[in-house]
Amino acid sequence: MKLVESVRESIGVAMRRLFGPLTRGLQRLRVTPNQVTVAGTLLNVVAAGLVFADRLVAAGIVFLVAGCFDLIDGALARQSGLVTPFGAFLDSTLDRVSEGVMLAGIAYYFAEAGQSWNAALVVVALLGSLLVSYTRARAEGLGLECKVGVMSRPERIVFIALGLFFSVLLPYVIYILVVLTLVTVVQRVVHTYRQLRGSGADGA
């Protein structure tokens, strides 16, 4: 798990450096982090609409651009000194909206193709992704760190985009999301339990 976290953090640092000039430009234009967050959500809605229209490659491009906004808003908040509790709350809430509308679009795509089983699994994948975020939020609400797991939001964005670019892979992407989001939930539950047990706060 530490290797996964290390790789994830290294990629995040590299991406923030890559978007550094853009972030500084947005700061000069007085664009706020919350505006970037909302714009990213709207792009995800557009991407979901493209999936509904059976334009998967275009949806994948827009979805990846929206994913970049997810990095930019946090970097902009830190750089401009606008890190706020509400900003974090809004970002987390709209992330769930973004993921929900995209997976709803994919479920519709499968249903239209007569693949009811795959459509049902998309719902399970959505449940798994929500639980991944929920377990972290609950752990952090208890004052604990809980970033562990093999399938956090950045990985989910990459996998979904891959499935959109190569539609033949899309069912397999959903299968992977179902399995690995549930694995991540278990990892986070175990990680939180161990932290609470170590502090003597688990009630055991």
CATH 3.30.300.30 at 2-199, yes or no: no
Sign of CA dihedral 175, 181, 185, 188: positive
Residue spans per domain, the chain: 2-199
Tokens coding 118 = 């795959």
Reply yes or no on whether the pLDDT at 4 is more than 60.
no
Instruction: Provide the residue type at 20 as one letter.
Output: G
Q: pTM score, two decimals?
A: 0.87
Distance CA 67, CA 154 (A): 8
Longest alpha-carbon distance in the chain: 54
Instruction: Provide the residue type at 22 as one letter.
Output: L
Q: What DSSP assignment string belongs to the chain? A: -HHHHHHHHHHHHHHHHHTHHHHHHHHHTT--HHHHHHHHHHHHHHHHHHHHTT-HHHHHHHHHHHHHHHHHHHHHHHHHT---HHHHHHHHHHHHHHHHHHHHHHHHHHHHTT-HHHHHHHHHHHHHHHHHHHHHHHHHHTT------S--HHHHHHHHHHHHHSGGGHHHHHHHHHHHHHHHHHHHHHHHHHHHHHHT-S--
Which residues make Cβ contacts (< 8 Å) with residue 80, sequence separation at least 6? 27, 32, 33
Distance CA 132, CA 140 (A): 13
34-80 confidence digits (pLDDT tens): 999 999 999 999 999 999 999 999 999 999 999 988 888 888 888 88
Q: What is the pLDDT of residue 75?
A: 82
Percentage, residues of the chain above pLDDT 90:
64
127-145 confidence digits (pLDDT tens): 999 999 999 999 999 999 8
Reply yes or no on whether the pLDDT at 1 is more than 80.
no
Distance CA 137, CA 157 (A): 19
Q: What is the pLDDT of residue 21?
A: 77
